[in-house]
């Protein structure tokens, strides 16, 4: 039986889990990206790995041999419209990914997605529902906004880093495999792209996380 991880980072996806895996490893906390919590379920970590950063960890926070009493859980959040725009441009909730293990995982753990007829509704439900699931896991969580950069993350984990801190950047879609919308169809979504009810959900959740939700 594997030992519980020291740190588990999770969020909605499209919120910086890959970058945080790099930042924790840089801080000498060897961290995988979807290395333990993947679409096929939890698997033992590689030798020496003591953390995992993965949106797929969210359903396992309450009951998993890899999340123990002393595991630190980091809830990684990003501006609602940034997350929704990234998923929209990827086509993740538009039917382009229906046969991929990642989409099947999302629907398996949030089956109500299949009852929502429009893509914008699925985007709003995913952002709010997945974040609410993490917040309601019954365990203490440290919330970190990816926009606040690495220093806030390190401080939240009580890490004292005295060497220059890198801020990992990569193209929002460039490293993602699988189907995606043509670049000519990419959009930066705004609240008025959603129905009033959907926009209200995103506005309320974003405001809870300290985001300004103006249209401009």
Q: What is the pLDDT of residue 216?
A: 32
What's the chain's average pLDDT?
89
Give pLDDT tens digits for 25-80.
988 899 999 999 999 989 999 999 999 999 999 999 999 999 999 999 999 999 99
Which CA distances in Å does 123 have to 10, 119, 136, 145, 171?
A: 18, 6, 20, 19, 21
Tell me the average pLDDT across 9-20: 94
Domain ranges, residue 109 = 7-172+187-208
96 confidence band (pLDDT: 50, 70, 90) = low
Domain count, the chain: 1
Q: What is the pLDDT of residue 171?
A: 43
Give pLDDT tens digits for 46-55.
999 999 999 9
Residue 215 belongs to some domain of the structure: no
186 confidence band (pLDDT: 50, 70, 90) = confident
Which of 77, 75, 65 lies closest to 137 in space, CA to CA? 75
Residue 17 belongs to some domain of the structure: yes
The rounded distance, in Å, linking the Cα atoms of 124 and 128 is 6
The single-letter DSSP state of residue 30 is: -
The CATH number of the domain holding residue 159 is 3.40.50.300
152 confidence band (pLDDT: 50, 70, 90) = confident
Indicate the helix (H) or strand (E) that contains 150: helix 149-156
Comparison of pLDDT for 11 and 154, the residue scoring more: 11
Residue 182 belongs to some domain of the structure: no
Residue 123 belongs to some domain of the structure: yes
Q: What is the pLDDT of residue 181?
A: 78
Residue 216 belongs to some domain of the structure: no
Q: Which residue has the tokens 């879609």?
A: 173
The rounded distance, in Å, linking the Cα atoms of 36 and 65 is 11
Residue 97 pLDDT exceeds 90: no
Residue 177 belongs to some domain of the structure: no
**Contact indicator for 63, 8 with CB cutoff of 8 Å:** no
Q: What is the pLDDT of residue 126?
A: 98
């Amino acid at each position: 039986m594997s030992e519980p991880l020291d740190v588990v980072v999770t969020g909605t996806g499209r919120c910086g889990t890959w970058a945080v895996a790099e930042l924790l490893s840089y801080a000498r906390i060897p961290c995988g990206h979807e290395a333990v919590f993947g679409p096929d379920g939890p698997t033992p970590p590689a030798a020496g790995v003591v953390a995992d950063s993965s949106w797929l960890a969210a359903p396992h926070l309450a009951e998993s041999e890899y999340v123990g009493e002393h595991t630190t859980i980091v809830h990684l959040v990003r501006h609602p419209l940034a997350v929704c725009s990234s998923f929209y441009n990827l086509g993740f909730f538009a039917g382009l990914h229906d046969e991929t293990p990642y989409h099947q995982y999302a629907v398996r753990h949030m089956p109500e997605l299949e009852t929502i007829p429009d893509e914008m509704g699925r985007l709003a439900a995913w952002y709010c529902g997945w974040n609410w699931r993490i917040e309601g896991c019954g365990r203490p969580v440290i919330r970190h906004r990816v926009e606040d950069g690495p220093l806030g993350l390190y401080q939240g984990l009580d890490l004292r880093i005295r060497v220059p801190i890198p801020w990992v950047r990569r193209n929002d879609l460039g490293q993602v495999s699988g189907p995606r919308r043509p670049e000519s169809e990419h959009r930066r979504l705004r609240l008025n792209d959603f129905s009033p009810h959907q926009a209200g959900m995103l506005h309320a959740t974003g405001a809870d996380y300290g985001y300004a939700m103006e249209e401009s």
